[in-house]
Amino acid sequence: MFEKRGTKRMEISELGEFGLIDHLTSGVKIHHPQTVKGVGDDAAVIDSGDKFTLITKDLLLEGIHFDLTYMPLKHLGYKAIVVNLSDIYAMNGTPQQVIIGLGMSNRFSLEAVEELYAGMYLACEKYKVDLVGGDTCSSVQGLVLSVTAVGTVAKDKVVYRGPANEGDLLCVSGDLGGAYAGLLVLEREKAVYKANPEMQPELHGYDYILQRQLKPEARMDIIEILEKTGIKPTAMIDISDGLASEIKHICKHSNLGCTVFEEKIPIEQFTYDAARSFDMDPTLYALNGGEDYELLFTIRQADYEIMKNILEISIIGFMTDKSMGVNLITKSGSQVEIKAQGWDHMKERSA
Amino acid sequence: MFEKRGTKRMEISELGEFGLIDHLTSGVKIHHPQTVKGVGDDAAVIDSGDKFTLITKDLLLEGIHFDLTYMPLKHLGYKAIVVNLSDIYAMNGTPQQVIIGLGMSNRFSLEAVEELYAGMYLACEKYKVDLVGGDTCSSVQGLVLSVTAVGTVAKDKVVYRGPANEGDLLCVSGDLGGAYAGLLVLEREKAVYKANPEMQPELHGYDYILQRQLKPEARMDIIEILEKTGIKPTAMIDISDGLASEIKHICKHSNLGCTVFEEKIPIEQFTYDAARSFDMDPTLYALNGGEDYELLFTIRQADYEIMKNILEISIIGFMTDKSMGVNLITKSGSQVEIKAQGWDHMKERSA
């Protein structure tokens, strides 16, 4: 009651998000044999008898994860579902249900909430998942969205963040950096609009990267391709925080190093052009921008012949002994260490 | 993009929380036969082969669900877990896992987050559930907690909010109104403290109702009793919004009416005394206060002989034909309609 807080104060920023989670969950005790995988992957894995049940959740908070100035509510609803489904796909699973938690202030009209739900239903329809419940309540300040996605995977098909094997090939779906480029354009136009509300936003020609930011898709198709080709990745993760951060996760879970070739990292021309217009290196967008929701995975070398013919997938590097480190071979041929600088660092750079 | 909002505006308050959820989810389409029960019960029910998997989630937002002035973080962590487990018990299930979503501003120190987690782990230990993951992020304003609980139940044991049968007996565990009485005491002492920070809060003698508010428990023991006695309720719900609201839910899901006897509603002496000190009717606390996390359920009359001997359970009424309405027989013998006025209304009354 009205307790006195301790005087010693350690800042959370000293640990970082992943350090904090590691710190808080290091003493987790597991009571149930059904708990196959707890903290530390894209989704929790629960033994449901014949199959594994996969469960993941993400919080989306106004002012942190989205800005309603330029994020239409329908897009927000869509994205809130998609980013969670992406975590289920990252386990090689199939999402089946979602549960919604929604906190909002009374400044929202019914029509606004309907827009938000319309976006969520659109995603549910596209990805064939069932909205099975939720919790709606008031929020004193911003909009709060919490989505839980539930999926299923055959026990012999589940893929974790590791361990991959030395020599495995590192693959990534689609292209990277676009979502971050789109965010920068939106932030720029918001600044222009705030300075002069008469100005119309200049978004012409940015369709691709805006879509990557405002209406991302989860790679259901990649999971289907893996199933069809009979390739089971040795490790997999989805790219929410940026390629660099996700590579680090796979390396950590595999106790390995990794070598990545810059020239192999897939970057769309639109992303490239936008980055150049901001005087930035597009590779940095791919490495640290995040929110691309592509799948990053490793395969055995034996699967190379099949994988190299799949248009939607780029082979960008290979797993090495841990002692080799995590490195990028640049286009000029030099080797630099990959650091997971993440989004905040990027924000500073672009500011 | 920068879209113009419509001019027609309907207020969400016109619908209320349950009306809003009904409105938003009326068009839900189910794609998977595994989705046994979606929106509209304490938890979603998913067919996992041998058993049903139960999933529920609740958002807890600072300024709405808790006030850190008098809610210690450790208690908050404990309560956040317990209120979700209560939803699993309300399906006659056994919770096994929880997933945590946590949004917090940088005003929180590591020690503060450790306190919050210590409370969550304490609840996990007591109720034997595994913390299997989560999402931690920044929040611009208040503390945001989102807990998802996962449980399991044998297919022939699951209990929904209905349908109960006409003539079934209405039972409730423990006692009611205490959590709300505790909240009022805390609010009173907060007001005193704000007016004069030198004043020490007067909480002596309020232990019971404070505990009901700050450290509620979920009724795992009742589920065990039901299992042991072989009684399967015909309908069940947990009391989060108040007895009146929950009775209404059971009636709605059963298409029945209900008659409740005021003198049978279990109210602790401490709750009674606190209500009287606020010049309030303690029955109103039980009906509309909420947050008691007791279980409300209906049983067949044939189970009366067993049930009447179970100390922890009170039989407070019976289900009637719908045309009879939902009524309270007061201590003076008059009949009044039960309305689900809920918490907000109570707040106004007590203000």
B305: domain CATH number is 3.90.650.10
Cβ contacts (< 8 Å) between B202 and chain A: which residues? none
Condensed to tens digits (0 to 9), the pLDDT of residues A252-280 reads 999 999 999 999 999 999 999 999 999 99
Query: Considering only residues 187 to 216 of chain A, which have any Cβ-Cβ distance to chain B shorter than 8 Å?
Result: 193, 201, 203, 210
Query: Rounded to the nearest 5°, which phi and psi values hold at A316?
Result: -115, -5
- Chain A's closest residue to B150, CA to CA, is A55
Q: Which of A93, A120, A154 is the last residue of a domain?
A: A154
- B206 with B132, same domain: the answer is no
What burial letters (b/e) apply to B161-170, b meaning 16+ CB within 10 Å? bbbbeeebbb
- CB of B123 less than 8 A from some CB of A: no
Same domain, yes or no: A228 and A346: yes
Distance of CA B249 to the CA centre of its chain: 12
Return the top range by mean pLDDT from A190-204, A284-298, B328-342.
Answer: A284-298
Neighbours of A248 (CB within 10 A): 19
Predicted confidence at residue A205, as pLDDT, reads 86
Is a pLDDT exceeding 70 seen at residue A8? no
Instruction: Give mean pLDDT, residues A49-56.
Output: 95
Do A141 and A203 lie in one domain? The reply is: no
Q: Residue A15 falls within a domain, yes or no?
A: no
User: What would the mean pLDDT of A50-65 be, rounded to a whole number?
Assistant: 94
Which 133-172 residues of chain B touch chain A by CB within 8 A? 133-142, 144, 146, 148, 150, 152
Mapped onto helix, strand or coil, the DSSP state of residue A87 is: helix
Structural domain harbouring B117: 32-154
- Percent of the residues in chain A that have a pLDDT greater than 70, as a whole number: 94
Residues of chain B with pLDDT under 50: 1-7, 343-351
B12 CB within 8 Å of a chain A CB: yes
Average pLDDT in the A319-335 region?
97
Interface probe, candidates B131, B187, B196, chain A, greatest A C-beta count within 10 A: B131
**Judgement on whether residues B190 and B311 belong to the same structural domain of the protein:** yes
Based on the domain organization, do A177 and A290 belong to the same domain? yes
Structural domain contains residue B149: yes
Task: Please state, in angstroms and rounded to a whole number, the distance separating the CA atoms of residues A292 and A271.
Answer: 12
My answer on whether A120 and A180 are in the same domain is no
The pLDDT assigned to B343 comes to: 47
**Residue A208 pLDDT:** 97
CA–CA dist A275, A286 (Å, integer): 10
Residue B212 located in a structural domain: yes
Token output for A157: 């098909």
Q: A131 with A276, same domain?
A: no
CATH number of the structural domain spanning residue A107:
3.30.1330.10
Positive or negative torsion for Cα A251, A254, A258, A260: negative
Whether residues A32 and B124 touch (CB distance < 8 A) is answered with no
Return all residues near A150 (Cβ < 8 A) that are at least 6 apart: A53, A54, A55, A88, A95, A96, A97, A98, A99, A132, B46, B53, B55
User: Between these two residues, B182 and A346, which has the higher pLDDT value?
Assistant: B182
CB of B32 less than 8 A from some CB of A: yes
Looking at the structure, tell me whether residues A139 and A69 fall in a common domain.
yes
B39 CB neighbours in chain A (<8 A) are 131-134
Mutate to test the interface with A, among B129, B130, B198 (most CBs of A within 10 A): B130
Q: Residue range A149-175: average pLDDT?
A: 98
Domain assignment of residue B206, yes or no = yes
Q: What is the mean pLDDT of residues A328-336?
A: 97
- pLDDT, position A5: 43
Residue A244 maps to a domain: yes
* Cα separation, B60 vs A64, whole angstroms: 18
Smallest CA–CA distance from B18 into chain A, residue: A136
Residues A87 and A232 in one domain: no
Given pLDDT bands bounded at 50, 70 and 90, which one contains residue A311? very high
Residue A53 falls inside a structural domain = yes
Could you say which DSSP state residue B6 is in?
Answer: P
- A163 domain-assigned: no
pLDDT of residue A23: 85
Rounded Cα distance between A89 and A122, Å, is 18
pLDDT in tens, A23-49: 888 878 899 999 999 888 999 999 999
- The answer to whether residues B176 and B150 belong to one domain is no
pLDDT score for A153:
98
Residues A200 and A307 in one domain: yes
Across chain A, mean pLDDT equals 91
- Asked if residue B250 and residue B277 are part of one domain, the reply reads yes
Span B127-138, pLDDT tens digits? 999 999 878 888
Cα–Cα distance measured from residue B340 to residue A296, given in angstroms and rounded to the nearest whole number? 51
Q: Which of B327, B349, B330 is nearest to B338 (CA)?
A: B327
Q: Which two tokens stand for residue A122?
A: 């659109």
What is the predicted pLDDT for the residue at B205? 86
**pLDDT on residue A349:** 38
Residue A66 lies inside a defined structural domain of this protein: yes
- Number of domains making up chain B: 2
Rounded to whole angstroms, how far apart are CA atoms B68 and B75? Answer: 10
Interface of B with A in 35-64 (CB under 8 A): 35, 37-41, 43-44, 46, 48-51, 53, 55-59, 61-64
The CA-atom distances, in angstroms, between A314 and each of A159, A169, A262, A295, A311 are: 19, 10, 12, 11, 8
pLDDT at position B350? 38
